[in-house]
A and B are shown apart, each in its own frame.
Chain A
Amino acid sequence: MIAEYGQLALTFALCISLALAIVPLYGSFKGHQTALQLGNPLSYALFLLTAFSFWALSYAFWSNDFTVVYVATNSNSLLPWYYRLTAVWGGHEGSMLLWLLTLSGWIAAVALFSRSLPLQFQGRILGVMGLIAVGFYAFVLFMSNPFMRSLPYFPVDGRDLNPLLQDFGMIIHPPMLYMGYVGFAVSFAFAIAALMGGKFDSTWARWARPWTLAAWMFLTLGIMLGSWWAYAELGWGGWWFWDPVENASFMPWLVGTALIHSLAVTEKRGTFKSWTVLLAIAAFSLSLLGAFLVRSGVLVSVHSFAADPDRGLYLLAFLLVVVGGSLLLYALRMHSVRSQARYELFSREVLLWGNNIFLLTATLVVLLGTLFPLVHKELGLGSISIGEPFFNQLFYYLVIPFALLLGLGPWVRWKQQQVQPLLKPMSLVAIATLILALGTLAATQSIQANLALLGLLLGAWVGSSAIFELLQRLQQFGSVKQGLTKLNASHFGMTLAHIGFAVLVVGVAMTKTYSVETQVRMKAGEQVELAGYQFKLVEVYPLNGPNYTGEAAELDVSYQGDYVTHLHAEKRFYTVQRTVMTEAAVHARLSRDLYVALGESLSDDSWALSLYVKPFVRWIWLGGLLMALGGLIALCDKRYRRKTAPGELKETADA
């Protein structure tokens, strides 16, 4: 019965979302106070109903209710309880329910935390989010119902969760990612609500900023976890594959990054308004595009769900309605908005404009590389694939000027900056950069590699510039100690996120240059040397897990005769799904990873093994983590929680 209650709750939720889409918007245009005030309780009700529905599906998984088709296809009674619960979002239907849960969660959060906003504006935001919700709730209920039963003939046991997804990274990767994707719906709703009112001021940007930052932070974490999961779970030793679905999550991230920078200009200087609105629309549209690409089956990738053209068509239509509708509104309303502020050629505004240009060009590169094969095929020109070198090459050229600008950006004042005062601090940064980069290379005893040198130079440039700038800013308060308490949190957040980017760049360049790998044929007792490390295969023995069998290999690693670590790599055969999975053994240090994946069994008792030594690979995820942390700190800035001043409130209420 529980599953039926879940479906009932979901049906009610669809009705509530319809009400949410109509009532507050009606109230905002008619000036009907009661209708506007209904927005909050409707939002809470939507969240509670969705949470109940999600709980009902989780309960079906927990209790192994294989009469529910979705449970039967994605779970198994032998699956450990924690994977049974995460299997809830292991397939298309359940992951859509998770999507609804995050969407309703964001709606409830907006209702809860923006009570200080003018009622009319808040009502419009909730109304727009309600419209989005209607689209998604209808999609889940009518096109991918997770509560479908297969009575009276139901399977005795389930078909098991895809072994790839039986991993810790999978437990948190999708929720984080969805929080990010759906979070951009909030920025989108803010933009659309402001378009309806036709009023954009710095107050509006100050309201929209924390929500965008929050969404961006979750998306950063989600992408980073996905990369780490692919590294640990796929046994290829790579951390980014330019897989279409990775690209689908990377595009909203790039636009979202551009958006938080553009919002800063709108808040501080009152310009870039129409640009900011366009970016907010673009970020959410790209999130929807991602959903379409993943769920329509037009792409073949590790992530793609079971292909269903109808679902794809629905999502495509939804995407077109959202993009078309918002662009139409934009065209109708935006011409009346004027930016007043003036700025010179050398000013922070122009540098942030440059930041946006590079981020958007990067988005264009990813979009082109992802969609071109689709277009090519649909035109009947044959199937093609676009190689990794395409992305790598173009990002190589994009990151260099981007990082140079990034090192300069925080030093430059708004409005106008004289060159003279910057010469001294910038040359100090340049010297520090050279010392840091060459010093690191000298310490690792190799100066010839140009990619690593370039990466280190850029990373050190961005990093040391960020730190020096922070110090200088702190000193302006009298002393560093005083500054620490007075400087606002968003400045610390920015600095940390920029350092995170520097760490990421160093990690990528070092890993790309110095990683070594080999695929070898080994027997127990044999030894192979790679980058100074001796890998000795001790033994290979059979394995018996709850829902899998397989083999495990034990290796001892030593460096120049000194024992380093013991590695345990597995090759699992999941009996229900009849799939083989590689569980790589990783020994992680900040300066390098040792990575071993067990390959196939060969004749004469020998085994194929992949061995990798990957210097600085941890820095890539560390960089992502620092960026997300920077976003979190910026989010805690006091000014986002300050009550709106009465004057501002009135001004916007009149709009």
Chain B
Amino acid sequence: MNPRRQKRLVAVVAFVLLLGGAIGAMLYALQQNIDLFYTPSQLIEGMGDDKIKPEIGQRLRIGGMVVKGSVRRDPNSLKVSFDLVDTGPLVTVEYEGILPDLFREGQGIVAQGVLVDEKTILASEVLAKHDEEYMPPEVAEAVKGIKHVAPKNMQSYGQPKVSEPETITPEQGKPAGQQP
């Protein structure tokens, strides 16, 4: 091998090693910092087809509507707790600090924190969007049932059934806690 080729080889090998190392470090760091998003019903009933529930002590994000009348403040400190809901059971969020400007009962929020017991989250951060009608998209999906699967038997019949509803309306069409 002539020296020029050799030099080039060294450069290429160094580049590949650097890139490999960087990607490895990146993926490792990524793995450490992923926070799964849950809605209150997913937290209690499990998520996905396998109904996976988060473990106690796990870092996660939760998004839901703040239940009206559930905000309880400690009279002597900035401790506060409130309940979140989407379509089913309630979970409680505990937080110490100043709630965001747009935190209001009946409004959608996202909290980041650690699961302390089955239905309680100790939040390190509470986020509300700067928008009056904001609902976290995941919660909107859960309560409105946007993601639905078309009935399977529709196609198998020769003619379309007229009686079949075109879209599936979930029983709880409106987010809980929302006033008319």
Residues of A within 8 A of B (CB): 162-164, 235, 300, 302, 345, 357, 361, 364-365, 368-369, 372, 382-387, 389-390, 393-394, 397, 519-521, 571, 577-582, 597, 599-600, 602-604, 608-610
A302 pairs with B130, CB closer than 8 A: yes
Q: Check A600 against B15 for contact (C-beta < 8 Å).
A: no
Given contacts A164-B130, A577-B132, contact A383 B102 (CB under 8 A): no
- Determine the chain A residues whose CB is within 8 A of the CB of B77 once the complex forms: 521
Please report the C-alpha to C-alpha distance between residue A397 and residue B26 in the assembled complex, in whole angstroms: 11
Q: Give the residue name and chain of the B residue nearest to A390 (CB).
A: B33
A387 touching B36 in the complex, CB below 8 Å, given contacts A300-B136, A579-B101, A602-B73: no
Known: A345-B10, A571-B101, A600-B98. 18 other contacts (CB 8 A): A162-B130, A300-B129, A300-B136, A302-B130, A345-B7, A361-B22, A365-B26, A368-B26, A368-B30, A384-B35, A386-B33, A386-B34, A386-B35, A390-B30, A519-B96, A580-B101, A602-B73, A603-B73
Enumerate chain B residues within 8 angstroms of A394, measured Cβ to Cβ. 25-26, 29
Q: Which of B26, B75, B136, B138 contacts A604 (CB 8 A)?
A: B75
Q: Known A521-B77, A582-B101; judge A384-B29 contact (CB<8 A).
A: no
Known pairs A300-B137, A382-B48; A579 contacts B132 (CB<8 A): yes
Complex Cα spacing A348 to B97, Å: 52
Nearest-neighbour CB distance to chain B for A514, whole angstroms, equals: 21
Closest to B37 in A: A383
Asked if residues A364 and B22 are in contact (CB atoms below 8 Å), the reply is yes
Chain A residue numbers with a CB within 8 Å of B153 are none
From residue 118 to 136 of chain B, which have CB atoms closer than 8 A to chain A?
129-132, 136
A393 to chain B, nearest CB (A): 5
Flag if A603 contacts B25 (CB, 8 Å): no
Q: Would you give the shortest CB distance from A630 to chain B, in whole angstroms?
A: 28
* B-side contacts of A602, CB under 8 Å: 73
Is A397 within 8 A of B30, CB to CB? no
> Of B30, B97, B129, which is within 8 A of A519 by CB?
B97
Choice from A235, A386, A578, A604 contacting B30 with Cβ under 8 Å: A386
- Chain B contact residues, CB within 8 Å of chain A: 7, 10, 15, 18-19, 22-23, 25-26, 29-30, 32-37, 47-48, 59, 61, 73, 75-78, 96-99, 101-102, 112, 129-132, 136-138
How far does the Cβ of A499 sit from chain B's closest Cβ, in whole Å?
28
Given A162-B130, A390-B29: A384 and B34 within 8 A (CB)?
yes
Cα–Cα, bound, A421→B44 (Å):
68
Contacts of B136 in A (CB 8 A): 300
Closest chain A residue to B18, Cβ basis: A357
A110 → chain B closest CB, angstroms: 35
CA distance A651 to B129 in the complex (A): 58
Q: Which residues of A contact B112 (CB under 8 A)?
A: 385
Q: Which residues of A contact B18 (CB under 8 A)?
A: 357, 361
Q: Which residue of B lies closest to A607 (CB)?
A: B98
A600: chain B residues within 8 A (beta carbon):
98-99
* Cα A397 to Cα B174 with chains together (Å): 48
Closest Cβ–Cβ distance, residue A348 to chain B (whole Å): 15
* Cβ contact within 8 Å between B30 and A385: no
CB distance from B151 to the nearest CB of A (A): 20
On chain A, the residues within 8 Å of B32 by CB distance are 389-390
| B37–A384 touching, CB < 8 Å | yes
Q: For the complex, what is the distance from the CA of A397 to the CA of B29, rounded to whole Å? A: 11
B75 touches A385 (CB 8 A): no
* Pairs A–B under 8 Å by Cβ, sample size 9: A300-B137, A368-B26, A372-B30, A383-B37, A386-B30, A390-B30, A519-B78, A599-B98, A602-B73
Contact yes or no, B78 A393, CB < 8 A = no
The residues of B that contact A609 with a CB separation of less than 8 Å are 98
> What is the CB-to-nearest-CB distance from A339 to chain B, in angstroms, rounded to a whole number?
13
Contact at A603–B75, with CB atoms within 8 Å? yes
Q: A580 with B102: in contact, given A382-B48, A383-B138 (CB under 8 Å)? A: yes
B137 cross-chain contacts in A, Cβ below 8 A: 300
Instruction: Give complex CA distance A21, B172 in Å.
Output: 54
Query: Residues of B contacting A387 with CB < 8 Å?
Result: 33-35, 59
For residue B129, which residues in chain A have a CB less than 8 angstroms away from its CB?
300, 302
In the complex, A475 Cα to B130 Cα: how many Å? 57
Given A393-B29, A394-B26: A385 in contact with B61 (beta carbons within 8 A): yes
Distance (Å) between the CB of A153 and the closest chain B CB?
Answer: 22
Specify the chain B residue showing the minimal Cβ separation from A521: B78
Q: Which residues of A contact B138 (CB under 8 A)?
A: 383
Q: Min CB distance, B112 to chain A, in Å?
A: 8
- The residue among B22, B61, B73, B137 with the most chain A CB atoms within 10 A of its own CB is B22
Enumerate chain A residues within 8 angstroms of B130, measured Cβ to Cβ: 162-164, 302, 579
Bound form: Cα–Cα A387–B30 in Å: 9
What residues of A have a CB within 8 angstroms of the CB of B132 in the complex? 577-579
- Bound together, the chains give a CA A368 to CA B30 distance in angstroms of 9
Which of B33, B47, B97 has the largest count of A CB atoms less than 10 A from its CB? B33
- Complex Cα distance, B26 from A364, in Å, reads 9
